[in-house]
């Protein structure tokens, strides 16, 4: 089945704007049953006019938003004892520099009074973090990684259940999806679901369309690929993917220009430092020569004094 490539932010967001699809997708990642889900997009919107070489819209001056994904959800999760409500923070990154953005955004979540509830006293909601990375990092080479906190006795090493308001309020669980590690990984139900991100399934030069094997996709989760199929058939989403390509290319070009200019600045700085060192060496050489001349003059003056004294003695 042909689907729109969810590596694109516009497609990724479109997939998760549908409540049913989002509940299925997020439940599969966190391994817990989400009963209710409230979506609150926190993406940055960039409005861009169609440019030369990009499919034109019917309206010549139409502006199409390019979204940079940073999505929030409030999720009601079924537990063994009842229900709990957590904040799910989902971020998708294309560049290593986004790491600092993750930290800043997570800090905002911890500070926000909205991420709490009143149970006779104000209490913090648990925060779940899901990261989709489209680049390599110093992480184990696995498609999906789970990061969870542990509690143990610092003296004996005894481990205790990582539960309770204090622990859950000040620590968070994370799931890291490494998109470049998904290739041909179909070992579990989750990896089959995440196969919609496998970039080895690209079918065209634009990289906009993937060909996924519907037969291996779990029946319960096929709403996800149907949603992505719908995105592929939407002309507006196709235009937005083209615009996203243009913006990414422009950002990459600017990044290369910045790197080249930085290298020039570094080289110039090194050349200046070398010249300064050469000047300093010359100054030191001159200073050494001046000192030698001064020492020689002092020696000559001493000899002249001795000769004068000897002459006086001989005349006496």
Structure confidence by residue, pLDDT tens digits, 239-270: 888 888 887 777 767 767 877 888 899 888 89
Is pLDDT of 62 > 60?
Answer: no
Alpha-carbon distance values, 26 to 30, 67, 85, 148 (Å):
6, 20, 14, 17
Query: What does the pLDDT read at residue 56?
Result: 44
- % of the chain exceeding 70 in pLDDT: 80
Is pLDDT of 163 > 90?
Answer: no
Contacts of 58 (CB under 8 A, 6+ apart): none
Query: What does the pLDDT read at residue 259?
Result: 79
The pLDDT of 31-49, averaged and rounded, is: 69
Top mean pLDDT of 33-47, 52-66, 71-85 is at 71-85
The pLDDT of 69-98, averaged and rounded, is: 82
Alpha-carbon distance values, 4 to 164, 192, 201 (Å):
42, 17, 11
Domain membership flag for residue 309: no
Is pLDDT of 144 > 90?
Answer: yes
What digits encode the pLDDT tens for the residues 9-31?
899 999 999 999 999 999 999 99
End-to-end CA distance of the chain: 124
Alpha-carbon distance values, 138 to 133, 141, 193 (Å):
12, 9, 25
The pLDDT of 83-87, averaged and rounded, is: 88
Domain membership flag for residue 103: yes
User: Which ranges constitute the DSSP H helices of 60-197?
Assistant: 98-111, 165-170, 189-193
Domain membership flag for residue 297: no
What's the domain range around 126?
2-234
Is the distance from CB of 129 to CB of 175 less than 8 angstroms? yes
Q: pTM of this prediction? A: 0.67
Read off the pLDDT band of 145 (50, 70, 90): very high
Q: How far apart are CA 125 and CA 165, in angstroms?
A: 9
User: Per mean pLDDT, which range of 27-41, 139-153, 206-220, 245-259 is the poorest?
Assistant: 245-259
- Residue 4 has phi, psi (to 5 degrees) of -70, 145
Contacts of 39 (CB under 8 A, 6+ apart): 16, 17, 19, 22, 71, 72, 73
Query: What does the pLDDT read at residue 167?
Result: 75
Strand partners, 118: 122
Residue 143 CB coordination number (10 Å)? 22
How distant is the alpha carbon of residue 73 from its chain centre?
Answer: 20
Long-range CB pairs of 195-203, under 8 A, 24+ apart, other chains included: 196/3, 196/6, 196/224, 196/225, 196/228, 197/6, 197/7, 197/132, 199/5, 199/7, 202/5, 203/2
Return the DSSP state at 32: S
Domain membership flag for residue 24: yes
One-character DSSP codes across 66-90: EEE-EEEEEEEEE-SSSEEEEEEEE
Query: What does the pLDDT read at residue 116?
Result: 58
The pLDDT of 187-212, averaged and rounded, is: 90
The pLDDT of 67-74, averaged and rounded, is: 74
Top mean pLDDT of 65-69, 94-98, 160-164 is at 160-164
What average pLDDT does the structure give for the chain? 81
Contacts of 252 (CB under 8 A, 6+ apart): none
Query: What does the pLDDT read at residue 22?
Result: 94
The pLDDT of 130-140, averaged and rounded, is: 83
Is pLDDT of 49 > 70?
Answer: no
Domain membership flag for residue 8: yes
Number of domains in the chain: 1
Q: How far apart are CA 192 and CA 221, in angstroms?
A: 10
Count of residues making up the chain: 316
Q: How far apart are CA 5 and CA 311, in angstroms?
A: 105
Domain membership flag for residue 260: no
What digits encode the pLDDT tens for the residues 265-299?
988 889 899 999 999 999 999 999 999 999 988 99
Read off the pLDDT band of 111 (50, 70, 90): low
Q: How far apart are CA 181 and CA 144, in angstroms?
A: 8
Contacts of 209 (CB under 8 A, 6+ apart): 2, 3, 4, 5, 202, 203, 232
Domain membership flag for residue 308: no
The pLDDT of 168-183, averaged and rounded, is: 85
- Residue 40 has phi, psi (to 5 degrees) of -135, 100
Residue 231 burial (10 A CB sphere; 0-12, 13-18, 19+): buried
Is pLDDT of 138 > 90?
Answer: no
Is pLDDT of 98 > 70?
Answer: no
Read off the pLDDT band of 53 (50, 70, 90): very low
Is pLDDT of 115 > 80?
Answer: no
Domain membership flag for residue 146: yes
């Amino acid at each position: 089945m042909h689907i729109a490539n969810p590596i694109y932010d516009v497609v990724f967001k479109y997939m998760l704007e549908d409540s049913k699809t989002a509940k299925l997708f997020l439940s599969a990642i966190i391994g817990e049953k989400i009963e209710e889900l409230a979506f609150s997009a926190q993406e940055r919107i960039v409005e861009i006019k169609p440019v030369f070489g990009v499919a034109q819209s019917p309206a010549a001056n139409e502006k199409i938003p390019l979204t940079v994904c940073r999505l929030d959800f409030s999720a009601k999760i079924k537990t063994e004892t009842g229900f709990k409500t957590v904040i799910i923070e989902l971020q998708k990154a294309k560049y290593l520099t986004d790491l600092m953005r993750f930290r800043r955004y997570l800090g905002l979540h911890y500070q926000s009074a909205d991420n709490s509830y009143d149970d006779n006293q104000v209490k913090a909601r648990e925060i779940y973090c899901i990261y989709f990375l489209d680049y390599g990092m110093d992480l184990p080479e696995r498609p999906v990684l789970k990061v969870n906190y542990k509690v143990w006795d610092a003296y004996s090493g005894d481990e205790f259940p990582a539960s309770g308001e204090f622990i859950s309020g000040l620590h968070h669980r994370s799931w890291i999806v490494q998109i470049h590690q998904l290739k041909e990984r179909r070992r579990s139900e989750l990896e089959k679901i995440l196969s919609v991100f496998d970039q080895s399934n690209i079918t065209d030069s634009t990289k906009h369309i993937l060909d996924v094997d519907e037969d291996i996709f779990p029946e319960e989760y096929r709403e996800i690929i149907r949603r992505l199929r719908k995105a592929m058939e939407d002309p507006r989403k196709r235009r937005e993917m083209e615009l996203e390509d243009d913006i990414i290319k422009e950002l990459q070009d600017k990044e290369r220009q910045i790197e080249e200019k930085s290298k020039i600045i570094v080289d110039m700085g090194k050349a200046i430092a070398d010249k300064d060192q050469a000047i300093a060496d010359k100054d030191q050489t001159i200073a050494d020569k001046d000192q030698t001349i001064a020492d020689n003059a002092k020696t000559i003056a001493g000899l002249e004094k001795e000769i004068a004294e000897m002459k006086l003695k001989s005349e006496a």
